[in-house]
Amino acid sequence: MKRLICLTAVITLTACAGAPRYKPDWATAIEKRPDCASATASDAMAAATRFIQKNTVGYKTGKIKDAGSPVLERMLKRDPNKIYTTVISYPDTTDQKLAGRSFIYDDALVLLWHISNHDCDTAAGIANTLMLLQNDDGSWGFSFNATGDFYNARYIRSGTVAWAAYALARYGKSCDNASASSSSERGSRWLSGRIKNGLVERAYGGWSQDYTYFAPAFDFTVQVAEHQFDTWMAFEAAGRLNEAESLKSAIMSGLWIEDQGRFAVAIADGKREDGRALDAAGAWGGLWLLAVGGREKAARSMRFTITGFSVSDGPLRGFKPYLDPVDGPLDGPMKNLIFFEGTMAAGLLSLRLGERETAIETVRLGTSLACVAGGGIPYASKEVLGFESVPAVAATIWFMILIDEFSGTARAPVFQ
């Protein structure tokens, strides 16, 4: 679920321009903390929970503005009787573009986490903010400032819309909230309007490589595999079962590579792009296959993941994000970069397939990271090519739902 891709006017899947920044990596940090080897999963869960609680803040903005020309401003229709909360996605980042930023996807994950713990009261604050920030056409922008007035409302990606719609559908049903169900339906209707030749397109808006210029009218028609899986969840949860079934058929006919046992990364200009990405080939793709009854294919997808994406970095073992230059070159630090968010998702897949060794190894990895990092799970093992190395809400929630399902506490609220 990599979110930091820089988009050019041509909009191929290219890397961000400029020299990448490198920070101390987590392999070195863990080597300096042998005491973390004895940390338990329950310790890690408690620390991760505190990390999420600490970085959940009140959302008090009344007027928002977007980038681009013309600058888009709008007043938010706040209800004085409701509480609005959000999460700071990368609370320890030194990147000023990310400081104080909240990603809609992260808020959706946190909302799902609260629902899985039957905490409708805490979930309400996040749900209220998601509904508050929904665009008039039913979509959501990519991210916003948790403590300021910036909201990138016209940088719209289908995957983001799908996760928000899915989380609100689950919240609406679990917490008996008709407004959330209605919001989810509007989001799902927007996704339906982005389907072309059976698959959902990525959507609108693009930033220049140096992030100095935003083009809100840019139409990004690439059909990313991961966004198809997300959209299917949204359709299912919203009760749009015929559309979910049609999307399932299009995914299998357009993106599944039978002789390799994996999904392609995308379809661009009607042509399948066969790049190997962890989210499509092994993590989210495999979880989706299990959800639609494709257990044998999911197992093949997991085998492909273990064979191809496994990587070690000192004492750390997990999965790399790419096997092909989908989002930039794979040399230098990318060779042994571990994508922790994707690794946690792959661990959940292995657990559901009954491959407990991989699941146990993933739980141990997350437990060590939570100990060293103070509760939050880093997004990736090093900072390179847009992968942040600081603790991240998304990676932390994926670890927490893995722990819950592993321990039998709760079925993870994703790809059910």
User: Please, which residues have CB within 8 angstroms of residue 233's CB and are 6 or more apart in sequence?
Assistant: 162, 163, 166, 291, 414, 415
What are 268's two structure tokens? 């661009």
Per-range mean pLDDT, top range of 13-22, 128-137, 305-314? 128-137
Cα separation values, 52 from 11, 241, 337, 367, Å: 34, 33, 25, 16
Residue written as token pair 């299912």:
236
Q: How confident is the model at residue 3 (pLDDT cuts 50, 70, 90)?
A: very low
Single-letter residue type at 175: C
> 34: cis peptide before it, omega within 30°?
no
Q: Across the chain, which distance is largest between two alpha carbons, in Å?
A: 57
What are 258's two structure tokens? 């039978």
Beta bridge partners of 195: 200
- Residue 32 in 3-state DSSP? coil
Pairing verdict, β 391-392 and 377-378: antiparallel
pLDDT of 71 reads 87
pLDDT of 329 reads 65
Q: Is the pLDDT of residue 362 over 70?
A: yes
Beta bridge partners of 215: 206
Sign of CA dihedral 267, 273, 274, 275: negative
User: Please, which residues have CB within 8 angstroms of residue 362's CB and are 6 or more apart in sequence?
Assistant: 318, 343, 344, 346, 347, 350, 402
Single-letter residue type at 285: G
Q: Is the pLDDT of residue 12 over 80?
A: no
C-alpha span between 114 and 227 (Å, rounded): 23
Lowest mean pLDDT among 87-96, 211-220, 261-270, 326-335: 326-335
- CA torsion angle for 390, 396, 397, 403 (degrees, to 10)? 170
- Residue 262 in 3-state DSSP? strand
Q: Is the pLDDT of residue 22 over 70?
A: no
What are 342's two structure tokens? 């994707």
pLDDT of 6 reads 35
What are 20's two structure tokens? 């990448």
pLDDT tens readout for residues 146-183: 999 999 999 999 999 999 999 999 999 999 999 999 99
- Single out the residue of 146, 193, 200, 209 nearest to residue 15, CA to CA: 209
C-alpha span between 84 and 144 (Å, rounded): 14
What are 42's two structure tokens? 């329950």
Complete domains list, the chain, with CATH: 26-407 (1.50.10.10)
CB-neighbour burial class of residue 363 (10 A; exposed 0-12, middle 13-18, buried 19+): buried
- Residue 145 in 3-state DSSP? strand
pLDDT of 29 reads 86
Q: For the chain, give the number of residues.
A: 416
Sign of CA dihedral 336, 341, 344, 346: negative
- CA torsion angle for 171, 175, 177, 180 (degrees, to 10)? -10
Cα 384-388-392 angle, rounded to 5 deg: 160
Q: Is the pLDDT of residue 140 over 70?
A: yes
User: Please, which residues have CB within 8 angstroms of residue 159's CB and are 6 or more apart in sequence?
Assistant: 1, 105, 202, 224, 226, 227, 230, 231
Q: How confident is the model at residue 5 (pLDDT cuts 50, 70, 90)?
A: very low
% of the chain surpassing 90 pLDDT: 79
Q: Is the pLDDT of residue 18 over 90?
A: no
C-alpha span between 209 and 15 (Å, rounded): 8
- Residue 391 in 3-state DSSP? strand
C-alpha span between 285 and 323 (Å, rounded): 16
Q: How confident is the model at residue 20 (pLDDT cuts 50, 70, 90)?
A: very low
Question: Could you tell me the pTM of the whole model?
Answer: 0.93
Residue written as token pair 């004492």:
315
Phi/psi at 332 (5° precision): 60, -140
pLDDT tens readout for residues 373-413: 999 999 999 888 778 899 999 999 999 999 999 999 989 99
pLDDT of 327 reads 63
- What does pLDDT average to over the chain? 91
pLDDT of 31 reads 87
DSSP state of 140: -
% of the chain surpassing 70 pLDDT: 93
Total H helices, total E strands in the chain = 14, 20
Pairing verdict, β 73-75 and 310-313: unpaired
Residue written as token pair 């397109």:
201
Phi/psi at 223 (5° precision): -100, 95
Q: How confident is the model at residue 25 (pLDDT cuts 50, 70, 90)?
A: confident
pLDDT of 24 reads 57
pLDDT of 21 reads 43
